[in-house]
């Protein structure tokens, strides 16, 4: 920890931890001013602890900081590259104060503790700007708070930023032609599905095609993509019709959630190409969920062009990853290219030849991993695939047929990343188990 939160003064002195300036909060995203003066007692009880915890989290590259009530305490967890790492344990009183202060800074109602709220606050640490997007929910033990940290210097709004290969981008470009059908992006909650969907949208040539966005890209840049001027009283159907009349080619839609929304999509599926996300663990699950919302499997598959599924996987740290020669039997078993001479893993050596402890890598802080990339799968709605799904929408059969037809899959993409030296075999196995 940067501040050694929760440690005694003696422990801090012994460790000689480098201190940095604490995070600076710079105003709520909704413009709501934080009335610190009228909440002086709350600020005194929770502000410095909130600053310490958020500073620690950002310094550790945590993309998510979670405050969870656990009995008489609050447990803080830092999620670094998608993996939870325990943070400090706070007393119930201090945890509640920290949660309320973060809500106050984020422009949320600190009196409301029963209903979910969402907002955010601008922040800066060591001259790096962040958006801290905050969401709360009630639990029997108290209020839970999740803080999503977005490094504004690394917006991840381009396809190659997040690991969409040129081959996949070309496939998406082909499937987006013709002004018809839906390209569906499927991913588990809080797995970066919106970022992947923006990457899919950005895979399409915005110079060649006219693209409109009805979805809110939040902090992401959608260059050369138009937005629709709002008209009072316009429904979603009205907005779709207005865009179609403008002879647009593609619309980037808000996430799919209910039958009425899907019904509107079905009404124009033969007139324009659409791209949208749906919350589901993989492509097949997303496909079948969409069909259920459509009212029938046949309606669903006939409206779809393809479904893109995604998983995030940790990438090895370039500064400290360790090369090793794999056993030829392992290469054959994993389906790696026969030309593979070297694979990589996190460093295993902790002491040098003289028995002295090796200092952890400065870049990844000894984790062996730094950042994440995408593994993608794609199920294309060919005529044969449609017939299969309509006759027997069994997930296992759909996956088997997709693999047999040579459609991109998670396993294939994961093996590519291992062969390229970006991902370890252990991490690949962990990603498939999670």
Q: Tell me the torsion sign for CA atoms 29, 31, 36, 41.
A: negative
Indicate the SS3 state at residue 229. coil
The CA angle 141-145-151, to the nearest 5 degrees, is: 160
Q: For residue range 360-394, what is the model confidence (pLDDT) as tens digits? A: 999 999 999 999 999 999 999 999 999 999 999 99
d(CA 85, CA 78): 5
Are the beta carbons of 29 and 121 closer than 8 angstroms? yes
Residue-level pLDDT at 17: 53
Q: For residue range 122-162, what is the model confidence (pLDDT) as tens digits? A: 999 999 999 999 999 999 999 999 999 999 998 777 788 88
Burial class (CB in 10 A: 0-12, 13-18, 19+), 332: exposed
Residue-level pLDDT at 18: 60
Which residues, including other chains, have CB under 8 Å from residue 346's CB and lie 6 or more apart? 316, 317, 320, 321, 322, 367, 368, 369, 424, 426
Residue bearing the bigger pLDDT, 254 or 348: 254
Q: For residue range 9-61, what is the model confidence (pLDDT) as tens digits? A: 344 444 445 678 999 999 999 999 999 999 999 999 999 999 999 999 999 99
Decide the pairing of beta strands 142-151 and 128-139.
antiparallel
- Dihedral (Cα; 312, 376, 158, 196), 10-degree rounding: -60
Are the beta carbons of 352 and 394 closer than 8 angstroms? no
Residue-level pLDDT at 154: 86
Which alpha helices (H) appear in 163-296, and where do they start and end? 166-175, 193-203, 236-245, 259-267, 283-294
Q: Which domains does the chain have, with CATH numbers?
A: 24-151 (3.30.450.90), 166-316+326-332+340-349+368-433 (3.40.50.300)
Residue bearing the bigger pLDDT, 349 or 114: 114
The CA angle 180-181-185, to the nearest 5 degrees, is: 140
Average pLDDT, integer, range 291-304: 97
Residue 5 has pLDDT above 90, yes or no: no
Q: For residue range 182-234, what is the model confidence (pLDDT) as tens digits? A: 999 999 988 889 999 999 999 999 899 999 999 987 777 788 899 998 898 99
């Amino acid at each position: 920890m940067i501040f050694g939160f929760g440690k005694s003064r003696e422990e801090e002195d012994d460790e000689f931890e480098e201190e940095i300036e604490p995070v600076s909060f710079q105003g709520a995203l909704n413009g709501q001013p934080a009335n610190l003066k009228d909440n002086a007692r709350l600020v005194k009880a929770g502000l410095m602890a909130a600053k310490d915890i958020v500073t620690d989290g950002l310094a550790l590259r945590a993309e998510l900081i979670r405050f969870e009530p656990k009995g008489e305490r609050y447990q803080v967890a830092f999620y670094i590259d998608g993996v939870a790492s325990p943070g400090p344990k706070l007393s119930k009183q201090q945890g509640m104060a920290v949660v309320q202060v973060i809500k106050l800074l984020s422009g949320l109602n600190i009196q409301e503790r029963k209903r979910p709220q969402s907002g955010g606050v601008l922040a800066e640490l060591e001259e790096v700007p962040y958006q801290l997007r905050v969401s709360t929910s009630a639990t029997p033990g108290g209020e839970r708070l999740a803080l999503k940290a977005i490094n504004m210097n690394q917006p991840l709004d381009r396809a190659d930023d997040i690991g969409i290969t040129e081959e996949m981008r070309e496939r998406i470009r082909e499937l987006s032609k013709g002004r018809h059908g839906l390209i569906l992006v499927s991913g588990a909650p809080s797995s970066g599905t919106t970022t992947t969907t923006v990457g899919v949208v950005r895979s399409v040539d915005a110079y060649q095609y006219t693209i409109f966005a009805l979805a809110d890209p939040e902090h992401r840049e959608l260059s050369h993509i138009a937005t629709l001027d709002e008209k009072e009283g316009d429904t979603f159907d009205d907005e779709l019709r207005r865009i179609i009349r403008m002879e647009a080619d593609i619309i980037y839609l808000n996430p799919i959630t209910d039958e009425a929304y899907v019904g509107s999509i079905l009404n124009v599926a033969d007139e324009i190409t659409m791209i949208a996300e749906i919350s589901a663990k993989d492509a097949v699950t997303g496909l079948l969920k969409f069909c259920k919302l459509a009212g029938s499997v046949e309606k669903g598959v006939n409206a779809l062009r393809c479904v893109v599924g995604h998983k995030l996987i940790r990438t090895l740290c370039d500064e400290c990853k360790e090369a090793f020669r794999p056993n030829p039997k392992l290469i054959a078993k994993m389906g790696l290219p026969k030309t593979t001479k070297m694979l990589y893993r996190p460093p295993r050596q902790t002491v040098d030849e003289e028995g002295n402890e090796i200092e952890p890598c400065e870049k990844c802080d000894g984790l062996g991993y730094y950042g994440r990339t995408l593994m993608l799968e794609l199920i294309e709605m060919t005529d044969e695939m449609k017939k299969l799904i309509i006759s027997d929408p069994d997930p296992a059969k759909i996956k088997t047929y997709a693999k047999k037809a040579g459609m991109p899959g998670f396993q294939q993409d994961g093996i590519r990343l291992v062969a390229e030296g970006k991902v370890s075999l252990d991490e690949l196995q962990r990603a498939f188990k999670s």
